[in-house]
Copies of this chain bind each other. A is one copy, B any other.
Amino acid sequence: KKIPLIKELNNDEKPTIHLPEPLEDFLPEKILPKDLLRESLPIPQISEIEVVRHFTNLSHMGYGVDLGFYPLGSCTMKYNPKINEEIANNEYFTDLHPYTPEELSQGALEIIYKLGEALSKITGMDKFTFQPSAGAHGELTALLIIKAYLRNKGENRNIVLVPDSAHGTNPASASMAGFETIEIPSDERGLVNPNILGKYLNKNVAVLMLTNPNTLGLFEKDILKIAQMVHDEGALLYYDGANLNGIMGYARPGDMGFDAVHVNLHKTFSTPHGGGGPGAGPVGVKDFLKDYLPVPTVEYDGNKYYLNYQVPKTIGRVRTFYGNFLVMLKAYAYIRLLGDEGLKKTTEMAVLNANYLKEKLKAYFELPYPSICKHEFVLSGKNLKEKGIKVLDIAKRLLDYGVHPPTIYFPLIVEEALMIEPTETETKYTLDEFVEIIRNILKEVDENPDIVKNAPHNTPVKRLNEVYAAKVLKVNWK
Contact = CB atoms under 8 A, between A and B. Distances in A.
A57 interface: yes
Contacts of A429: 9
Interface stretch (A47-55, A152-160, A248-256): A47-55
A427 B425 CA distance: 44
B79 A48 contact: yes
Contacts of A402: 1
- Classify chain A: how many residues form its interface, as a range: 20 to 34
A345 B67 CA distance: 41
A66 interface: yes
Nearest to A425: B49
Interface string A188-215: 0000000000000000000000000000
A67 B82 CA distance: 24
Contact of A49 (B9, B49, B53, B79): B79
A81 B426 CA distance: 37
A385 to B, nearest CB: 31
A48 to B, nearest CB: 7
A455 to B, nearest CB: 16
A68 B66 CA distance: 24
Would you call the interface of chain A mostly helix, strand, loop, or mixed? loop
B337 A18 contact: yes
Nearest to A59: B60
Interface string A78-122: 010110000000000000000000000000000000000000000
A429 B79 CA distance: 40
A52 B49 CA distance: 27
A50 B433 CA distance: 14
Interface string A201-232: 00000000000000000000000000000000
A157 to B, nearest CB: 46
A56 B56 CA distance: 14
A94 to B, nearest CB: 12
Contacts of A79: 48-49, 52
Q: Most chain-B CB neighbours within 10 Å: which of A48, A49, A425?
A: A49
A56 to B, nearest CB: 4
Q: Most chain-B CB neighbours within 10 Å: which of A67, A337, A429?
A: A67
B47 A67 contact: no
A60 B53 contact: no
A433 to B, nearest CB: 11
Nearest to A52: B66
A68 B48 contact: no
Contact of A68 (B47, B53, B68, B82): B53
A427 B50 contact: yes
Contacts of A425: 47, 49
Interface in A1-33: 1, 9, 18
Interface string A310-353: 00000000000000000000000000010000000000000000
Nearest to A4: B429
A424 to B, nearest CB: 10
Nearest to A47: B427
A67 B3 CA distance: 11
A57 B64 CA distance: 11
Contact of A67 (B9, B48, B56, B426): B56
Given A337-B18, A402-B1, A427-B47, A53 B66 contact: yes
Interface of A: 1, 9, 18, 47-50, 52-53, 56-57, 60, 66-68, 79, 81-82, 337, 402, 425-427, 429
24 contacts: A1-B402, A9-B429, A18-B337, A47-B425, A47-B427, A48-B79, A48-B81, A49-B79, A49-B425, A49-B426, A49-B427, A50-B427, A52-B66, A52-B79, A52-B82, A53-B66, A53-B67, A53-B68, A56-B66, A56-B67, A57-B67, A57-B68, A60-B60, A60-B67
A-B CB proximity, top 10 nearest: A49-B79, A56-B66, A49-B425, A1-B402, A52-B66, A56-B67, A60-B60, A57-B67, A18-B337, A53-B66
Given A47-B427, A48-B79, A50-B427, 19 more contacts: A1-B402, A9-B429, A18-B337, A47-B425, A48-B81, A49-B79, A49-B425, A49-B426, A49-B427, A52-B66, A52-B79, A52-B82, A53-B66, A53-B67, A53-B68, A57-B67, A57-B68, A60-B60, A60-B67
